[in-house]
Amino acid sequence: MSRLHIPSVETSPVASVPLLDAVKKQLGVVPNLMKLVGNSPAALEGYLSLNGALAKGSLGTKTGERIALAIAEINRCDYCLSAHTYLAAHVAKLDAAEINANRNGLSNDAKADSAVRFAASVAQQRGHVSTDEVQKVKAAGYSDAEVVEIVLHVALNTLTNYINSVAETEIDFPVVQAFPK
């Protein structure tokens, strides 16, 4: 059971309802994460705005999901591992070997490997990456704008990892657990 209340869409704060309705229209369902964050209309609007903006970025869905899996594993967030394993397989169409690599902070795609490794390093080092790491991701073909997007994907996923860990959000996707430490 979640440590924070997860309202239904109907019992959510009035200002959250249109945002949650838009989520349902886009996804077909309203995941528990969205309902949980919807306890604060301001938080839900902020989350959805950043998520929507990054979806328009140049990294693409596959790399976004790869980063999400790496960060969820680093932060040991079973809710996000479950959600992003499902999304990686069914939306981004990543295979099981790629999903496993991503959870280990890697990718089987050479260019994406640089992005995922860099994202993992950003998370593990709390942003204090070396000049060499920045140069490596840029040498792999990522522009300054894309490096900024990678960092924002790390931040967005860390945000959801933390809220789900604090709340112990009930998982409403096929359950995936973090690798044993």
Q: What is the pLDDT of residues 81-107, one digit of tens each?
A: 999 999 999 999 999 999 999 999 999
Domain residues of the chain, as ranges?
14-55, 60-167
Q: pLDDT for 36-62, tens place per residue?
A: 999 999 999 999 999 999 999 999 999
Please determine, for residue 15, whether its predicted confidence score (pLDDT) is greater than 90.
yes
pLDDT at 21 over 90: yes
Q: What is the pLDDT of residue 181?
A: 81
Contact 98, 107 (CB under 8 A): yes
From the list 12, 166, 158, 27, the residue with the least C-alpha distance to 86 is 27
Give the CA-trace dihedral at 135, 136, 139, 141, to 10 degrees: -110
User: pLDDT at position 1, please?
Assistant: 86
Please give the average per-residue pLDDT across 132-161, as a whole number: 98
Among residues 80, 83, 25, 88, the alpha carbon closest in space to that of 62 is found at 88
CATH superfamily of the domain spanning 60-167: AhpD-like (1.20.1290.10)
pLDDT, tens digit, 9 for 90 and up, residues 122-146: 999 999 999 999 999 999 999 999 9
pTM of the model: 0.96
Residue 156 has pLDDT above 90, yes or no: yes
- Band of residue 154 on the pLDDT scale cut at 50, 70, 90: very high
Q: Which H or E element spans position 68?
A: helix 60-74
**Tens digit of pLDDT for each residue in 100-123?**
999 999 999 999 999 999 999 999
* pLDDT surpassing 90 at residue 168: yes
Alpha carbon distances (Å) from 127 to 144, 145, 154: 15, 16, 10
